[in-house]
Amino acid sequence: MAIYVSGSLAFDRIMTFHGNFKDHILLDKLHMLNVSFMVDSMDERRGGCAGNIAFSLALLGEKPVIVASAGRDFDDYAKALASLGLPLSGIRICPDIFTALCYITTDLNSNQITGFYAGAMAMPSDYKFPGLSPEHDIAIISPGNVEDMRRLPEFYRSHGVPYIYDPGQQLPVLSGEDLRKAIEGSFACITNDYELNMICKATGMSEEALLGRTLWLVTTLGAEGVRVRGVDGTDVHVPAVAVQKLADPTGAGDAQRAGLLKGLACALSVVEAAKLGAVSASFAIECLGTQEHRYTPTDFKDRYEKAYGPLPEQVRF
């Protein structure tokens, strides 16, 4: 079985503001916003949605194909991916531009302000998908090159490959029609609750109407867990997993998606797969950066069983 992960590859510059954004923003002056935050720390890490999802999938014993574009400064990142056994065949290298760069500032309430330079992400992927198998493969379309996010849903549908649509940070540049076409016929649409509201506003559709276009709506709720709804009437709340420390929420959503994909690859139901996602996310939250967490299969199993009971036997690492 192949797992295809399209989206961004980027370097993250993660900064911490030891205050609350809301205390420094005047709501009656938003039309002339001019604010500066003095940050206390800065770290540069490997990131990007596709890279983050693939990283956590590698920890879970999978070797997904990353479908993305990177720039001339990607060598060390590529070596890190290869050291995890991840194939690089789906990554387009653009030698004349830099890899995408993300600036993320987080306050004490885990609110985030993000600035993003697209760099090589502005170039669509050129992967040809050799050996594509609709009976065995699954894909996720995560935030990345907009042309890919418009093109790949139709590509996967036409080849019978189930896919998860995850528009995330690219919602501001995707039209309502883009979103309707991408969600139509998808296996699942995954967002946080705010992003789901944005999709409803952009498409003019209710959440119930969206479920008529996709089989599943998976909505992450931060510390409140995940809500899973299906066209079959399923409506289940999966509680979040307790963490030992809250270090950085950046990348938790990507880790959650990796766990969800792992569960689906193991033929679990979406609800059971979402539990794997919640456990995966809990490890990411405990580390600064999106690809810094580590765990053994025993660590993962122990945390899963503490939260939800016995780990399904079909889950193999």
**Catalytically active residues, by annotation:** 254
- Nearest Cα neighbor of 2 from 85, 65, 67, 60 is 65
Q: Residues 6 or more apart from 33 whose CB is under 8 A from it?
A: 25
CA–CA gap between residue 246 and residue 5 (Å, rounded)? 27
Q: Which two tokens stand for residue 162?
A: 């189930």
- What's the rounded Cα separation, in Å, for the pair 226 and 201? 21
Distance of CA 247 to the CA centre of its chain: 18
**Sheet containing 188-192: order of strands:** 91-93, 65-70, 3-6, 138-141, 163-165, 188-192, 216-220, 226-230, 235-238
Q: Residue 166: which H helix or E strand, with range?
A: none
As a whole number of angstroms, the distance between CA 109 and CA 266 comes to 36
Distance CA 104, CA 15 (A): 6
Give the contacts of 19 (CB within 8 A, at least 6 positions apart).
37, 107, 108
Contact indicator for 311, 279 with CB cutoff of 8 Å: no
Tokens of 279: 């456990």
Cβ(166)–Cβ(141) below 8 Å: yes
**Angstrom distance (rounded) from CA 185 to CA 155:** 11
